Amino acid sequence: MIGEVVELDVGAVAHGGHCVARLDGQVVFVRHALPGERVLARVTEGEPGRSFLRAHVVEVLRASPQRVEPPCRYAGVCGGCDFQHVALPEQRRLKQTVVLEQLRRLGGLEREDLPNEVVVEPVPGDRDGLGWRTRVEFAVDGDGRPGLRRHRSHEVVPLDRCLIASRGVTEADVTGRSWPDADSIDVTETSHGEVVVTVLPAQAERERRIVEHVSAEELELDLALDARGFWQVHPGAAATFVEAVLQMLEPRPGERAVDLYSGVGLFACALAERVGPLGQVVAVESDRAAVGHARSNLAEHRQALVVEGRVDDLLGVPRHERARRRPRRAPGRRRRPARSPLLPHTCDLVVLDPPRIGAGAEVVREVARLGARAVAYVACDPAALARDVATFREFGYALAGLRCFDAFPMTHHVETVALLAPVSRPTAD
């Protein structure tokens, strides 16, 4: 079956950058297809009787009107872009479809539960979906040639240029050289135009400090971080997300805010400016280097506290993976970690910016117990967002606002900022 070319009628788009087709009743996830097309596709994973197959388009028999010629000659070869064959407005419509489908299927939301019409907005500064990626890690093959990996593979595809890479990353000319002693090459272009090239593993322990500037909502922020530390890869994304969060939360002077998974303090700095010296901001981050930068970035705000540690640990949530390694306890006797005394038991506002897997039900439960009047949830995975929204509903919080951003053009990825607010209960007569 693997390697066989099959004819498929392509159905709806699905989460993950592919569309769904069926072969003799078996689900096939097809990359580089579009809904309504008829294609020949080569099976890349799966066997008859398995729950699904994976396949790549090798020929289009009936094309969608939204299909375009990919601008990059490596499209469909390297694993970096899912949607170069799709017109840019249609890419955003497909992402909108995925977000809505995840919220309905995993979040249990009906159309009337959605706060407004959901659209995927372009990020400011984006014109044609190319030249935006300011952080690229190039893999290096056994011959020292840099490139990008194939989809779901460790194989390196050598290339001369990545079209979604920013101008500074491209002009570093990493792909024009041989790197015989490297495993990968990390290239970063900062908002100030500085370009940092890090050779791994040789320079892995010698992180270079950079500064990113964010101008948003009448705020001017300069944030220090490591060149290889986490930061949004689209140059307009950080400011866009800060503006969305502040508009949703509407912080007031004197309020207490909690920023979970805070990184180097992007949202914490913005909140500290808004709640003022009579307010309070508590930021929680587990990465030690990011914590150090966050404390430096928030140093001028005496009302801000940065707490190092995992969010689940500090909220008193057990780690299930840790519990599985230990001898089984009798039911009801599993030991919970102590909740950190540095975290408040109540607050007015929460920013929740978890990793791709989401916050998880137990963290969401503890966040709901804080009793915040508003929670801004920043998500890079619509499925994880939908699962956590469903849990928030169980604990009395409804989806009150939602914005989606095309921060990763030419790929299936979409960033969302959701507002969750307590459900008002009618008062007794």
Q: Is 148 in contact with 101 (CB distance < 8 Å)? A: no
Sheet containing strand 52-62, edge to edge, reads 5-9, 38-45, 52-62, 26-31, 18-23, 13-14
Tally Cβ neighbours within 10 Å of residue 337: 16
Q: What is the tens place of the pLDDT at every residue in 212-242?
A: 999 998 999 999 999 999 999 999 999 999 9
Query: For the domain with range 5-67, which CATH number is right: 2.40.50.100, 2.40.10.120, 2.40.50.140, 2.130.10.10?
Result: 2.40.50.140
pLDDT of residue 328: 52
Q: Parallel, antiparallel, or unpaired: how do β-strands 415-422 and 374-379 relate?
A: antiparallel
CATH class label, 209-321+334-422: alpha beta
Q: What is the tens place of the pLDDT at every residue in 260-282?
A: 999 999 999 999 999 999 999 99
The pTM (predicted TM-score) of the whole model is 0.93
pLDDT of residue 429: 40
Q: What is the tens place of the pLDDT at every residue in 183-208?
A: 999 999 999 999 999 999 988 777 89
Which residue matches tokens 């053009």?
409
Same fold: 5-67 with 209-321+334-422: no
Q: Is 38 in contact with 9 (CB distance < 8 Å)? A: yes
Q: Is 385 in contact with 416 (CB distance < 8 Å)? A: yes
Q: What is the tens place of the pLDDT at every residue in 293-321?
A: 999 999 999 999 999 999 999 999 998 64
Q: Is 56 in contact with 41 (CB distance < 8 Å)? A: yes
Domain ranges of the chain: 5-67, 135-200, 209-321+334-422
Q: What is the tens place of the pLDDT at every residue in 69-83?
A: 999 999 989 988 999
pLDDT band at 330 (very low <50, low <70, confident <90, very high): low
What proportion of the chain, given as a percentage, has pLDDT over 90? 86
Q: What is the tens place of the pLDDT at every residue in 340-393?
A: 999 999 999 999 999 999 999 999 999 999 999 999 999 999 999 999 999 999
- C-alpha distances (whole Å) from 38 to each of 12, 17, 24, 323 are 13, 17, 15, 49
Mean pLDDT of the chain: 93
CA distance 326 to 318: 13
Note if 347 is an active site residue.
Answer: no
CA distance 34 to 32: 7
pLDDT of residue 410: 97
Catalytic choice (72, 81, 347, 380): 380
